[in-house]
């Protein structure tokens, strides 16, 4: 498999205002992300291969979206809250309800500071809630969230390719990686509980991760990006 | 360095500083400038252009909404104010944003005269800002044409 030199995060940005789309697009590009912008929640769902909650692999679905959408990896969805028709909150719910997309981190943006709104979004599974105008510093907080899905997708690809070891071991590769990210203060709630029994297989990975987790977030990301994980994990699976 | 360029650069610096000091711009504008780079050299100009287009559109909407002899739909006016507040906030148009905050309260209070007056102020304010920023861009052009580089102005 081809390993990219730099992690290219792909962000789907949703906002009904042209102005805001232009703004968030530039911000994301400046944060070194690939950006796709759409002007509504409906278009976002279409792009993700979900249409009105219907998944693309539903045989009864009449979808005009080409199958290619399934292969487009989205590492983050950032959406405005106030949009006509489908709000950012509605979009968040649809994404979290979909088995294909529920692991994609979702971030909500709003120009209004309404605590009830913020907590509702966070409870529904939004990773962050940003007040507009969003700043570059805010986006840098998102890299660990995006890295999580990126690495997870990589490992899932690896599991799919025939490996010498039982899939149990390969699957175990996923959890501790994520668990160690929690040491830098990122909430990875669902996965923590599954980690314990499998950690013992991957001491080498953990040791490397430990040193990295002591660094600031920014350098973690740099560390991970230059030191591309794939070869390391291949080494781990064979070593076990 | 060319004396002419140096003079233009100083003029530019002073002009930018005055825009901040007089409250036309705030540090969101600084943030905006920091997003411009060689890959996106016209970003600020593009975004400002979109902003001013928005101003024209939204002010028009609000004028129409307030012109309803009979019942004025204040929520409609408010929705437009909300949008304008958002975009002015994102470009660092400090005075326009400040007016929008007042405007919002006037809409909520359904204060017709207050809204009409505020709209007039918004109209004047965004046009004033537009002229000032045009002057700023002109200075930048002059500097470049004279062979110089547009300086980064440190607001602090």
Rounded to the nearest 10 degrees, what angle do helices A143-160 and A167-181 cross at? 170
- List Cβ neighbours of B109 (8 Å cut-off, separation of 6 or more): none
Residue A43 contacts B where some CB pair is shorter than 8 Å: no
**pLDDT computed for residue A94 by the predictor:** 96
Residue A141 maps to a domain: yes
Residue A173 maps to a domain: no
ipTM of predicted assembly, 2 dp? 0.87
**pLDDT computed for residue A187 by the predictor:** 45
Q: How far is A112 from chain B (nearest CA, A)?
A: 9
Count of domains observed in chain A? 1
Closest by CA to A47, choosing from A25, A68, A69, A28, is A69
- List Cβ neighbours of A64 (8 Å cut-off, separation of 6 or more): none
Question: What are A137's two structure tokens?
Answer: 């510093």
For B84-109, the pLDDT digits (tens) are 999 999 999 999 999 999 999 999 99
Nearest to A111 among B31, B39, B89 (CB): B89
Residue A211 maps to a domain: no
Residues with pLDDT less than 70, chain A: 1-7, 52-71, 160-240
Residues of B engaging A, defined by a Cβ cutoff of 8 Å = 28, 31, 34-35, 37, 39-40, 43, 46-47, 50-51, 54, 82-83, 85-87, 89-90
**pLDDT computed for residue A209 by the predictor:** 44
Residue A198 maps to a domain: no
**pLDDT computed for residue B1 by the predictor:** 59
pTM of the model: 0.71
Contact: A26, B31; criterion CB under 8 Å: no
**CATH number of the domain bearing residue A38:** 3.40.50.2300
Domain boundaries, chain B: 3-138
CATH topology (fold) of B3-138: 1.20.120
The label of the residue with tokens 């981190």 reads: A105
Residue A222 maps to a domain: no
d(CA B75, CA B96) in angstroms, rounded, equals 20
Contact present, B77 and B85 (Cβ < 8 Å): no
Instruction: Provide the domain limits for residue A127.
Output: 10-52+71-153
Residues with pLDDT less than 70, chain B: 1
Contact present, B105 and B62 (Cβ < 8 Å): no
């Amino acid at each position: 498999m081809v390993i990219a030199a730099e992690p290219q995060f792909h962000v789907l940005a949703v906002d009904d205002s042209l102005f805001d789309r232009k703004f968030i697009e530039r911000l994301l590009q400046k944060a070194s992300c690939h950006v796709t912008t759409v002007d509504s929640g409906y278009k976002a769902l279409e792009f993700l291969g979900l249409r009105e909650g219907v998944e693309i692999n539903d045989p009864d679905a009449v979808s005009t979206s080409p199958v290619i959408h399934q292969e487009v990896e989205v590492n983050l969805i950032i959406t405005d809250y106030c949009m006509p028709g489908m709000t950012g909150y509605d979009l968040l719910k649809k994404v979290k309800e979909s088995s294909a997309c529920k692991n994609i981190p979702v971030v909500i943006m709003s120009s209004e500071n309404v605590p009830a709104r913020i907590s509702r979004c966070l409870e529904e599974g939004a990773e962050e809630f940003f007040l507009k105008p969003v700043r570059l510093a805010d986006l840098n907080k998102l890299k660990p969230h995006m890295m999580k899905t990126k690495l997870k997708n990589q490992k899932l690809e690896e599991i799919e390719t025939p490996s010498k070891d039982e899939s149990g071991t390969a699957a175990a590769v996923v959890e501790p990686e994520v668990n160690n990210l929690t040491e830098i203060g990122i909430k990875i709630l669902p996965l923590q509980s599954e980690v314990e029994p499998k950690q013992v297989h991957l001491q080498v990975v953990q040791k490397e991760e430990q040193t990295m987790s002591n660094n600031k977030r920014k350098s973690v990301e740099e560390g991970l990006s230059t030191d591309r994980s794939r070869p390391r994990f291949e080494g781990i699976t064979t070593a076990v | 360095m060319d004396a002419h360029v140096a003079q233009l650069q100083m003029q530019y610096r002073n002009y930018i500083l005055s825009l901040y000091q007089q409250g036309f711009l705030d540090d969101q504008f600084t943030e905006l400038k920091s997003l411009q780079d060689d890959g996106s050299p016209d970003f600020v100009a593009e975004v400002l252009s979109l902003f001013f287009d928005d101003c024209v559109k939204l002010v028009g909407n609000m004028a129409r909404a307030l012109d309803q002899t009979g019942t004025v739909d204040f929520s409609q006016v408010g929705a437009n104010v909300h949008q304008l507040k958002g975009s002015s906030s994102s470009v660092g148009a400090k005075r326009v944003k400040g007016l929008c905050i007042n405007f919002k309260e006037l809409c909520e209070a359904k204060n017709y005269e207050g809204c009409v007056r505020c709209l007039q102020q918004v109209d004047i304010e965004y046009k004033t800002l537009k002229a000032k920023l045009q002057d700023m861009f002109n200075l930048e052009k002059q500097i470049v044409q004279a062979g110089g580089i547009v300086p980064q102005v440190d607001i602090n």
